[in-house]
Chain A
Amino acid sequence: MEVQQLAQATAASEKESRASRRFEKIQAIVEQYGAAESALIPILQKVQEEYRYLPEEILTFVATALNLPPATVYGVATFYAQFSLEPKGKYIVRVCDGTACHVRKNQTLISTVKEWLGLKEGQSTTEDMRYTLEIVSCIGACALAPAVVINGKVHGQMTPEKVTKALEELEAAEKAEDK
Chain B
Amino acid sequence: MTPVTKLSSPQELAEVKQKTLSALETGCTRVLVCGGTGCMANGAPAVMEALQKALDERNVPVRVDLVDDSKEGTVRLGYSGCPGFCQVGPIVRILPSDYFYIKVTPEDAAEIVEKTVQKGEVVDRLLFTDNDGKTYAKRNELPFYRDQVNVVLADSGIIEPGDIRDYIAKDGYKAIAEALFGMTSEAVIAEVTQSGLRGRGGGGFPTGVKWGFTQRVQSPKKYVVCNADEGDPGAFMDESIMEGNPHALLEGMVIAGYAIGADEGYIYVRAEYPLAITRLRTAIAQAEAANLLGDNILGSPFSFHIHIKEGAGAFVCGEETALISSIEGKRGMPRPKPPFPANSGLWGKPTVVNNVETFANVPKIILNGAEWFRSFGVEKSTGTKVFALTGAVVNTGLIEVPMGTTLGDVVFKIGGGIRTGKGFKAVQIGGPSGGCLTTEHIDLPLDYDSLKAAGAMVGSGGLVVMDEDTCMVEVARYFMQFTQKESCGKCVLCREGTKQMLALLEKIVGGEGTLEDIELLEELAVAVRDGSLCGLGKTAPNPVLSTLKYFRDEYLAHVVDKKCPAGECKAFKGYRIIEEKCKGCSLCARKCPVGAISGEPKQPYTIDQETCIKCGVCFDVCRFGAVEK
Residues A65-90 near B (CB distance < 8 A): 72, 75-76, 79-83
Which chain A residues border B42 with CB–CB below 8 Å?
144, 156
**Chain B's nearest CB lies how many Å from the CB of A72?**
8
In the complex, are the beta carbons of B87 and A143 less than 8 A apart? yes
Known contacts A107-B615, A115-B594, A141 near B313 by CB under 8 Å: no
In the complex, are the beta carbons of B234 and A99 less than 8 A apart? yes
**Chain B's nearest CB lies how many Å from the CB of A129?**
22
- Selected from B239, B272, B333, B392, the residue in CB contact (under 8 A) with A103 is B392
On chain A, the number of residues with a Cβ less than 8 Å from chain B's Cβ atoms is: 51
In the complex, are the beta carbons of B330 and A141 less than 8 A apart? no
Which chain A residues border B233 with CB–CB below 8 Å?
97-100, 102, 137-138
In the complex, are the beta carbons of A143 and B38 less than 8 A apart? yes
Q: Per-residue CB proximity of A96-139 to B under 8 Å, as 1/0? A: 01111011110110011001100000000000000000001111
**In the complex, B331 has a CB within 8 A of chain A:** yes
Chain B residue at minimal CB-CB distance from A156: B41
Which chain B residues border A82 with CB–CB below 8 Å?
271, 311-313
Known contacts A97-B233, A107-B615, A111-B615, A76 near B397 by CB under 8 Å: no
**Chain B's nearest CB lies how many Å from the CB of A93?**
14
In the complex, are the beta carbons of B310 and A160 less than 8 A apart? no
Among A111, A140, A161, which residue has the most Cβ atoms of chain B within 10 A? Answer: A140
In the complex, are the beta carbons of A140 and B273 less than 8 A apart? yes
Which chain A residues border B593 with CB–CB below 8 Å?
108, 111-112, 115-116, 160-161, 164
Give Cα A159 to B329, complex, Å: 40
**Chain B's nearest CB lies how many Å from the CB of A78?**
9
- Selected from B274, B311, B397, B462, the residue in CB contact (under 8 A) with A99 is B462
In the complex, are the beta carbons of A37 and B329 less than 8 A apart? yes
Which chain B residues border A154 with CB–CB below 8 Å?
37, 40-41
Known contacts A141-B236, A142-B234, A136 near B272 by CB under 8 Å: yes
Which chain A residues border B390 with CB–CB below 8 Å?
99-100, 142-143, 145
Give Cα A124 to B241, complex, Å: 34
Q: Per-residue CB proximity of B216-250 to A under 8 Å, as 1/0? A: 00000000000000111111100100000000000
Known contacts A142-B236, A143-B38, A161-B591, A39 near B466 by CB under 8 Å: no
**In the complex, B370 has a CB within 8 A of chain A:** no
Give Cα A98 to B593, complex, Å: 22
In the complex, are the beta carbons of B315 and A38 less than 8 A apart? no
In the complex, are the beta carbons of A111 and B41 less than 8 A apart? no
In the complex, are the beta carbons of A142 and B388 less than 8 A apart? yes
In the complex, are the beta carbons of B37 and A140 less than 8 A apart? yes
Give Cα A34 to B206, complex, Å: 37
Among A39, A83, A108, which residue has the most Cβ atoms of chain B within 10 A? Answer: A108
**In the complex, A42 has a CB within 8 A of chain B:** yes
In the complex, are the beta carbons of A79 and B314 less than 8 A apart? yes
Chain A residue at minimal CB-CB distance from B431: A99
In the complex, are the beta carbons of B616 and A38 less than 8 A apart? no
**Chain A's nearest CB lies how many Å from the CB of B234?**
4
In the complex, are the beta carbons of A138 and B234 less than 8 A apart? yes
In the complex, are the beta carbons of B231 and A160 less than 8 A apart? no
Chain B residue at minimal CB-CB distance from A135: B485
**In the complex, B302 has a CB within 8 A of chain A:** no
**In the complex, B470 has a CB within 8 A of chain A:** yes
**In the complex, A45 has a CB within 8 A of chain B:** yes
Give Cα A100 to B41, complex, Å: 16
Which chain B residues border A147 with CB–CB below 8 Å?
41
Chain B residue at minimal CB-CB distance from A39: B329
In the complex, are the beta carbons of A160 and B615 less than 8 A apart? yes
The prevalent SS among residues of A at the interface is helix
**In the complex, A155 has a CB within 8 A of chain B:** yes
Known contacts A99-B428, A100-B234, A144-B42, A111 near B272 by CB under 8 Å: no
In the complex, are the beta carbons of A156 and B272 less than 8 A apart? no
Which chain A residues border B482 with CB–CB below 8 Å?
137
Q: Per-residue CB proximity of B541-584 to A under 8 Å, as 1/0? A: 00000000000000000000000000000000000000000000
Among B42, B235, B273, B390, which residue has the most Cβ atoms of chain A within 10 A? Answer: B390
- Selected from B330, B431, B615, the residue in CB contact (under 8 A) with A108 is B615
In the complex, are the beta carbons of B466 and A108 less than 8 A apart? no
Give Cα A42 to B307, complex, Å: 13
In the complex, are the beta carbons of B313 and A102 less than 8 A apart? no
Which chain B residues border A137 with CB–CB below 8 Å?
231, 233, 315, 482, 486
**In the complex, B328 has a CB within 8 A of chain A:** yes
**In the complex, A153 has a CB within 8 A of chain B:** yes
In the complex, are the beta carbons of A142 and B330 less than 8 A apart? no
Which chain B residues border A142 with CB–CB below 8 Å?
86, 234-236, 388, 390, 396, 462
Chain B residue at minimal CB-CB distance from A157: B42
Which chain B residues border A112 with CB–CB below 8 Å?
593-594, 615
In the complex, are the beta carbons of A111 and B613 less than 8 A apart? yes
**In the complex, A11 has a CB within 8 A of chain B:** no
Give Cα A36 to B42, complex, Å: 41
Give Cα A139 to B540, complex, Å: 21
**Chain B's nearest CB lies how many Å from the CB of A8?**
43
Chain A positions near chain B (C-beta within 8 angstroms):
36-42, 44-45, 72, 75-76, 79-83, 97-100, 102-105, 107-108, 111-112, 115-116, 136-145, 147, 152-156, 159-161, 164
Given A41-B312, A138-B236, 10 more pairs with CB closer than 8 A:
A79-B314, A79-B331, A79-B332, A82-B313, A99-B462, A100-B233, A108-B615, A138-B233, A143-B87, A143-B396
The contact sample of 22 A-B pairs, CB cut-off 8 A, is A37-B330, A38-B328, A38-B329, A41-B309, A79-B331, A79-B488, A97-B233, A99-B428, A103-B392, A103-B466, A112-B594, A138-B234, A138-B235, A139-B37, A143-B390, A143-B397, A145-B391, A154-B37, A154-B40, A156-B42, A161-B591, A164-B593
